């Protein structure tokens, strides 16, 4: 069965960077896109960006442009989300999900809590 | 403020039918982009409930249905059960933003 397993929780100081990984299994990795979504405390779901499984093309939410980078490693079927210059309002649960905007997200990671605090 | 507008709260008694609306614009729902719905219990991963406006993934009960007309979409839940108490989100693509967009979410309470 399809599984997306994410890395563990992180606590970071403002200005630092964080990397969240997402290990995919149960399907052919490069035939599906992977998207990242986050949920801040008490808030709704926020789309962060998307990476093509075929060619590595990316598209990022405008508000995160310049601070977020999505990559994949096809040899380990793992996707990565790097977020730089962390601020307190980046505190959220971060999810990876299989799929794109037009197809919907049919499999999700369990979520990774990132806390940004001094 | 979300690009897709959902009512923040919806409630119903067990066995009843409830609907959750998702109102967009001519650059997303009204442009014909597919709408997808998710059920999200706090502390767990969101679950795809409806894809492509009205299709159910395998394993999703037929009590859940989706529809779309013009710039709005709806999720209907019939035969409401206590286990349906959750947050629900619609999602689509917006061509003006060139991005995926979510509704603000609706908390469903089963009375």
- Structure confidence at residue B1 as a pLDDT band (50, 70, 90): confident
Average pLDDT score over residue span A66-88: 97
Number of neighbouring beta carbons within 10 Å of residue B67? 14
Q: Render pLDDT for B89-107 as a digit per residue (tens, 0 to 9).
A: 999 999 999 999 999 999 9
C-beta separation of B104 from B21 below 8 A: no
Mean pLDDT of B45-54: 97
Of the pLDDT bands very low, low, confident and very high (cuts 50, 70, 90), residue A92 is: very high
In terms of C-beta density within 10 A (0-12 exposed, 13-18 middle, 19 or more buried), how is residue A12 classed?
middle
Cβ of residue B64 closer than 8 Å to a chain A Cβ: no
Residue A88 tokens, joined: 């307190």
Query: Given an 8 Å threshold on Cβ–Cβ distance, is B46 in contact with A95?
Result: yes
pLDDT at A46: 97
CA distance A116 to A16: 9
- Phi, psi (degrees; rounded to nearest 5) at B22: -140, 105
Q: What percent of chain B has pLDDT over 70?
A: 100
What is the 8-class DSSP label of residue B29? G
Average pLDDT, chain B: 96
pLDDT of residue B43: 85
Q: Which residues of A touch B (CB under 8 A)?
A: 35, 37, 44-47, 50, 59, 61-62, 95, 97, 100-106, 108-111
The upper half-sphere exposure of residue A20, i.e. CA atoms within 13 Å in the direction of its Cβ, equals 32
What is the 3 state secondary structure string of chain A? CCEEEECCCEEECCCCCEEEEEEEECCCHHHCCEEEEEECCCCCEEEEEEECCCCCCEEECHHHCCCEEEEEECCCCEEEEEECCCCHHHCEEEEEEEEECCCEEEEECCCEEEEECC
Chain B CB contacts of A61 below 8 Å: 99
pLDDT single digits (tens) B10-38: 999 999 999 999 999 999 999 999 999 99
pLDDT (tens digit, 9 = 90+) per residue, A19-66? 999 999 999 999 999 999 999 999 999 999 999 988 999 999 999 999
- Give the Cα separation of A102 and A116 in Å (integer): 32
Q: Of A64, A79, A83, whose CA–CA distance to A6 is shortest?
A: A79
Give the gap in angstroms from C-alpha A20 to the nearest C-alpha of chain B: 16
Query: What is the distance between the alpha carbons of residues A4 and B1, in angstroms, rounded to a whole number?
Result: 30
The three-class DSSP label of residue B65 is strand
B89 is written with which tokens? Answer: 């989100």
């Amino acid at each position: 069965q399809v599984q997306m397993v994410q890395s563990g929780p992180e606590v970071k100081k403002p200005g630092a960077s964080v990397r969240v990984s997402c290990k995919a299994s149960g399907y052919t990795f490069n035939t599906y896109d992977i998207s990242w979504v986050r949920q801040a405390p008490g808030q709704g779901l926020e789309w962060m960006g998307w990476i093509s499984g075929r060619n590595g093309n990316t598209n990022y939410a405008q508000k995160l442009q310049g601070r977020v980078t999505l990559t994949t490693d096809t040899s380990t079927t793992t996707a990565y989300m790097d977020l730089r210059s962390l601020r307190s309002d980046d505190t959220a649960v971060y999810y990876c999900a299989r799929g794109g905007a037009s197809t919907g997200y049919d499999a999700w990671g369990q979520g990774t809590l990132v806390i940004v605090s001094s | 403020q979300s690009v897709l507008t959902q009512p923040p709260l919806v409630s119903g008694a067990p066995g009843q039918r409830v609907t959750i609306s998702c109102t967009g614009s001519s650059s997303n729902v009204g442009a014909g982009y597919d709408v997808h719905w998710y059920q999200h219990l706090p502390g767990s991963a969101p679950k795809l409930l409806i894809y492509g406006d009205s299709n159910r993934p395998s394993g999703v009960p037929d009590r859940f249905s989706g529809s779309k007309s013009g710039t709005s979409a709806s999720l209907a839940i019939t035969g409401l059960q206590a286990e349906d108490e959750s947050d629900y989100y619609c999602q689509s693509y917006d061509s003006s933003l060139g991005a995926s967009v979510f509704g603000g979410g609706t908390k469903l309470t089963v009375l």
